[in-house]
A and B are shown apart, each in its own frame.
Chain A
Amino acid sequence: MKRTVTLIAAAVLVAGCGGGEAPQPGSESGAPQKVTLEWWHLSTSDPLKTVYEKRAKEFQAANPHVTIKMTVLENEAYKSKVTTLTQSGKAPDLFATWGGGVLKQQVDAGLVKDISADVAPVIDTFTTAALAAYQFDGKTYALPTDIGMVGFWYNKKLFEKAGIAEPPTTWSGYLDAVSKLKAAGITPIALAGKEKWPGHYYWAYLAMRIGGLPALQQAAVDHDFTKPAFVQAGQQLKALADLQPFQKGFLGAAYSTPDGQAATVSNGKAAMELMGQWAPNVQIDAGKGLGEDLGFFPFPAVEGGQGAITEAFGGGGGMAVGADAPPEAIELLKFLTSEENHTKAVAENAVLPVLKGEESAVKDANLKIVADSLATATGFQLYLDQAYPPAVGAEVNDSVAELLAGAKTPEQVAQDITEVAKSE
């Protein structure tokens, strides 16, 4: 008890004495002052991990007065650590963000630097879609380093074995494919039930396909998630769960551990997973990797729904600059996203294009499909747990996890999310 109260209060206490350590840029006389940059990101798998390490070294070599201190954390750990730090009134000098509601909250708290003026010369090199999540009221608070979308990553060989010639494009076709896989003795889907966020992709995509993008945007404004589109999304997800398509023990499975979602697909023990553009890299990191057998298809359309199959759900990754960060942090950000460096990272299959005209650098066949789907997408929705305020996003993840565990009905899910959204 003492410890927990102390934790919260320590955070509160620190809030009172944050800030004020930003060194001034090198004055005209003599060498520039020594600067240490705190850089936090969550790229724990290669190739991006190594790419960032290389860039940091190059930047330090070019700017000898700068020391970069990198903190690299896995997804969930990263989210809690950034939340803890930002609640204490501080932010790292340069840190990974998904933009949207969470970044907005940090901006409103005065923790993030408005970098509009600093990046004005380069802002036109970015694609509008990639930038959208980081701009509020015409001001830019972060630059994108990656953009992508969520879709099904599947094992071509296992699909073939189950007699599925083409990846399904409709929801009923999808449920059919799941049944066929089951009938062939193959686990259709791997899911990380313990971590909750991978489960929310299904519900969000279904709501998007049934109600269309306007339904999700409307819900962000009127906080009403009890409309038919959301309830039906839950019902369809329940219909999928009732087929028992997930791997044994999925409720306790993590995403990137050796027995987690990515490894299960990677080792050929499940036929597919619904995941973002980083999935192939994590698969190779966590398991054997599928190589040529790995394929990608977009989330199928739901018959009679308002949304089209060409609408993408996902998000990128960007880097934001802390309010008290020295100017070198912005320089580092520009360095990372410069055409030369970013195109190199794209060529290494580390990230997807965020700069105009970079598409030709994508080498990997599957990532090319993702990049092309994105380039031709007719609409885009950011991850719900980032687009909505943290409490709403967390409730979506929680409630959907309970739906998958059979502990909540689709109606209860809709009601519980609405309740939290209205109280925010």
Chain B
Amino acid sequence: MTTITRRPEARRLPAHARPNRGRRRSWVTITLFVLPALALFLLLVVAPIVVAVYASGFKWNGFGGLPTDFIGFDNFTRLLESEIFFTDMWHLLVLVLLCLVVQLPMALGIAMLLNQRIRGRAIYRLVFFSPYVLSEVITGVLFSLILSPTSGLANGILGLVGLESDFLADQDTALMSLFVVMTWKYFGFHMMIYLAGRQNIPNELLEAARIDGATGWEVFRHVTLPLLGPTIRISVFLSVIYTIQLFDLVWILTEGGPAHSTETLAVTMFDIGFGRSQVGYASAISVVMFVLSLVFALGYQRFVMRRDLEGATTAMGDTR
């Protein structure tokens, strides 16, 4: 126990003055505790990444042992020259923008409403959150029934006012329909995060603002919103990372069609790797996705979430 719990006065000592032996013992303890998780992490996360990077340099159909036909960066140049890569990136951009402009503000608005004292708010919270509990595949099957152009519920209702649509079966509306399904599934999750963040804001601050004569909107704009900053930043982060990896929902709903109009990087990768047996090329796509996620994650944490994460990753050295 003594190795872990330090009394307050011990903490105030400068690092170099601490007894060396205790420090070493605590390192041994840390190593022992971290080792199993570290081994799993290396085996299941780092090793696959290394293998994928390795395989991305080969022309390889995935059969029979290790790849042998080394082609350098050809898989990457082929990807960058292919039309489908830019289509995928465009879809990524559109979906991210829609999330930021529509999905998250909507979640925030509903969270603010459900923070008020209204009758049955527990039920509303439950209902709005419940889609998130469903698996992506079930959501996909459910909506492919609802959005069926010929026999779906959506057209049954919209038909009454003459607003039928082909939804997922039309190149022009497929991506929007996909976004609607994504929003249905995920806005409840973001709403819950915002609600939790909102409840962490002390009422005294809001009260003080109101006493100073701020209107409802001004209180929200100048007190609530800034204090929700860290929550919003993390929810944007999760939303973007999810969109980069988007696969399950698309695969069930459209398989990327019609005519690639809902295809994402992950769908392209799956199609190339498992549909066409070009595992080397598919590995190259997975590497690109990895780099994309990594650059975004690091950049976002470094520049946007810097203050929120103080003491965690970026500013590790300073807190010693």
A193 touches B148 (CB 8 A): no
Q: Are B278 and A391 in contact (CB under 8 A)?
A: yes
Contact with B along A1-28 (1 / 0, CB 8 A): 1111110111111010000000000000
- Does A390 contact B276, Cβ atoms closer than 8 Å? yes
Measured CA separation A250–B34 after assembly (Å): 54
Q: How far is the CA of A194 from the CA of B263 in the complex (A)?
A: 13
Residues from chain B with Cβ under 8 Å of A1 in the complex: 241, 244-245, 286, 289-290, 293
Q: Which residue of A lies closest to B147 (CB)?
A: A252
Whether A5 touches B52, Cβ cut-off 8 Å, given contacts A248-B149, A248-B150, A253-B169, is: yes
What string of 1s and 0s marks CB contacts (under 8 Å) between A247-278 and chain B?
A: 11111110001110000100001000000000
Segment 50-89 of A: residues with Cβ below 8 Å from B: 79-80, 83-84, 86-87, 89
Q: B interface, how many residues as a size bin?
A: 35 or more
Query: Cα distance A1–B266 when bound, in Å?
Result: 8
Closest to A405 in B: B259
- Counting contact residues on chain A (CB < 8 A from B), the size range is 35 or more
Bound-state Cα–Cα, A96 to B259, Å: 30
Q: Is A324 an interface residue (CB 8 A)?
A: no
Q: Which residues of A contact B245 (CB under 8 A)?
A: 1, 3-4
Q: How far is the CA of A376 from the CA of B245 in the complex (A)?
A: 52
B257 to A259, Cβ gap below 8 A? no
Kindly provide the distance from the CB of A271 to the nearest chain B CB, expressed in whole angstroms.
15
Query: Is A243 located at the chain interface by the 8 A CB criterion?
Result: no
Judged by a CB distance under 8 angstroms, whether A375 is at the interface is no
Decide: A80 and B149 in contact? CB cutoff 8 A: no
Stretch from A108-116, A291-299, A334-342 forming part of the interface with B: A108-116
Alpha-carbon gap, A11 to B283, bound state (A): 12
Q: How far is the CA of A257 from the CA of B282 in the complex (A)?
A: 30
Are B62 and A11 touching (Cβ within 8 A)?
Answer: yes
B151 pairs with A5, CB closer than 8 A: no
Are B171's CB and A5's CB within 8 A?
no
Are B273 and A8 touching (Cβ within 8 A)? yes
Question: Which residues of A, 303-340, contact B by the 8 Å Cβ criterion?
Answer: none
- Please measure, in the bound complex, the distance between the C-alpha atom of A259 and the C-alpha atom of B166, giving whole angstroms: 13
Contacts of A111 in B (CB 8 A): 63
The answer to whether the Cβ of A131 comes within 8 Å of any Cβ in the partner chain is: no
Bound Cα distance from A111 to B65, whole angstroms? 12
Q: Is A401 interfacial (CB 8 A cutoff)?
A: yes
Inter-subunit contact B62/A6 (CB<8 Å): no
- With beta carbons under 8 angstroms apart, the residue of B64, B168, B275 that contacts A394 is B275
Contacts of B61 in A (CB 8 A): 105
Task: Specify which of A3, A5, A89 lies most central, judged by the most chain B CB atoms within 10 Å of its CB.
Answer: A5
State the B residues within 8 Å of A (CB).
44-45, 47-49, 51-52, 55, 61-65, 144-145, 148-152, 166-171, 174, 241, 244-245, 247, 254-255, 257-260, 266, 269, 271, 273-279, 282-283, 286, 289-290, 293
Given contact pairs A5-B48, A194-B169, A401-B257, enumerate 8 new A-B contacts (beta carbons under 8 Å): A2-B45, A5-B290, A80-B275, A86-B63, A87-B279, A194-B258, A259-B151, A391-B277
